[in-house]
Amino acid sequence: MEFLSRMMDRSIFRDARDRLEPVLSGSAGRREGEVRLKEVPIFEGCSQRQLRSVARIARVFEAPAGTVLTRVGDPGDEFFLILDGTVSVDVSAGRPVLLRPGEFFGEMSLLDGDPRSATVVTATPVRLLVIHRVNFSFLRREVPELTQILLVTLSRRVRQAEARAERMGER
């Protein structure tokens, strides 16, 4: 409830800034809970230089189940990559879509500047990699492969949404 009310005034990440943990780029020994970017699937093909760049801008955020991360209609300033746990995307047609480790969300508002297209809530405790809007285009420049992954994922999500809407229309 505390998270929910903070989210209502869109301050969850302002308030949580102190809890956004830095990440590691390389293979040096890690403390418990630290994230090694090389082990995150979308960064596995990255060079050490690319990983260092990502590590400078990415932060880790942990949240319990039931935390509202984006709310439909709100402005959006963060891109999220799921490290652990599951989130539920409340889509207009049909049952919520579940996103799991390795998947991402929050890219749409950062790409087109429009408000959040869906409410996203944590279905389990989660650990997320968070990248703020001001660093998102830097990330896409530093890791050009990411743009291809974004495009393919967006295409798949449109196809799945169309299929869901069609199935609902048939009922």
Footprint of ligand CMP on 145-164 (CB under 6 A): 157, 161
In the complex with ligand CMP, the residue whose CB is nearer, 59 or 116, is: 116
In degrees, to the nearest 5, what angle opens at C-alpha 91 toward C-alphas 87 and 93?
140
Of 6-14, 38-46, 89-97, 124-132, which segment contacts ligand CMP by CB under 6 A?
89-97
- The interface mask with ligand CMP, positions 101-130, x = CB under 6 A, is ----xxxxx------xxx-x----------
In the complex with ligand CMP, the residue whose CB is nearer, 97 or 126, is: 97
Give the nearest distance from C-beta 34 to ligand CMP in angstroms.
26
- Single out the residue of 97, 123, 128, 150 in contact with ligand CMP (rule: CB under 6 A): 97
Give the nearest distance from C-beta 107 to ligand CMP in angstroms.
5
- The Cα–Cα gap between 90 and 87 comes to 10
Q: Are strands 87-90 and 78-84 parallel, antiparallel or unpaired?
A: unpaired
For residues 134, 122, 155 and 143, what is the CA-based torsion angle, rounded to 10 degrees? 40
What letter does residue 17 receive in the DSSP assignment? G
Residue in the structure block whose two tokens are 């960064």? 43
Footprint of ligand CMP on 42-71 (CB under 6 A): 70
Residue 130: HSE in the Cβ half-sphere, 13 Å Cα cutoff: 23
Q: Which residues are CB-contacts of 86 (< 8 A; sequence separation ≥ 6)?
A: 98, 99, 100, 122, 123, 124, 126
Give the nearest distance from C-beta 21 to ligand CMP in angstroms.
22
16 binds ligand CMP (CB under 6 A): no
The residues binding ligand CMP (CB under 6 A) are 70, 76, 89, 91, 97, 105-109, 116-118, 120, 157, 161
